[in-house]
Copies of this chain bind each other. A is one copy, B any other.
C-alpha cells in the first residue's frame, strides 16, 4: 500500500484524501491535517458532512478506528461535530488561537518538518526555493 486516494464526490465535496506511509507521520494525523486544510482552503464548508468513518477507512485502506481517531480529535477541538448514527460534520466555530499561540504553533510545526526535511539531506535553502516556486 503506497498511495491511497479518495475523492469524495459522493459527499458533494471536492477534497481528496491521501495517505503516505513513507511520510513518517501517523495516518490519523495525516487525516487531521487534510481536513484542517480543507476547511482553511474553503474546500470544506461549514455544516458539510464528511465521509463516514467506514467509507473513508475503505478508501484509505485503514481501519475505521483510525479515521474515528482523527474525527474524535477534531471534535475535541470543536472543528467537527459528530452524532452517532448520523454522521460527522464541519462545525461552525473552530477555536481561534491567540497571536502568541499562533507564533508558537508555527515554530513547533517548522521544527517538526525541518527535522524530517534535513533527514532526507535537503537544506533550508532547498525548501525556501521550492516554497517560492509553489507560491503562485
Beyond A23-B108, A37-B118, A102-B121, 6 additional pairs, beta carbon < 8 A: A36-B120, A41-B118, A102-B122, A106-B120, A106-B126, A110-B131
Query: Residue of B at shortest CB range from A111?
Result: B134
Bound form: Cα–Cα A75–B115 in Å: 16
Provide the residues of chain B in CB contact with A37, threshold 8 Å: 115-116, 118-119
Q: Are B106 and A122 in contact (CB under 8 A)?
A: yes
Chain A positions within 8 Å of B, measured between CB atoms, are 2, 20-23, 25-27, 30, 33-34, 36-37, 39-41, 76, 81, 83-84, 92, 97, 102, 105-110, 112-122, 124, 126-128, 130-132, 134-135
Q: In chain B, what residue has the closest Cβ to A112?
A: B23
Q: Are A22 and B110 in contact (CB under 8 A)?
A: no
Q: A39 — which chain B residues lie within 8 A by C-beta? A: 119
Instruction: Give this chain's copy count.
Output: 2
User: When the two chains form their complex, are residues A81 and B118 in contact, meaning their CB atoms are under 8 A apart?
Assistant: no
Asked, given contacts A2-B92, A106-B122, A134-B124, whether A115 binds B20 with beta carbons under 8 Å apart, the answer is no
Distance in Å from the Cβ of A89 to the closest Cβ of chain B?
9
Distance in Å: Cβ of A9 to nearest Cβ of chain B: 21
Q: In the complex, which residue of chain B has the Cβ closest to the Cβ of A29? A: B116
Contact B20 A116 (CB under 8 A): no
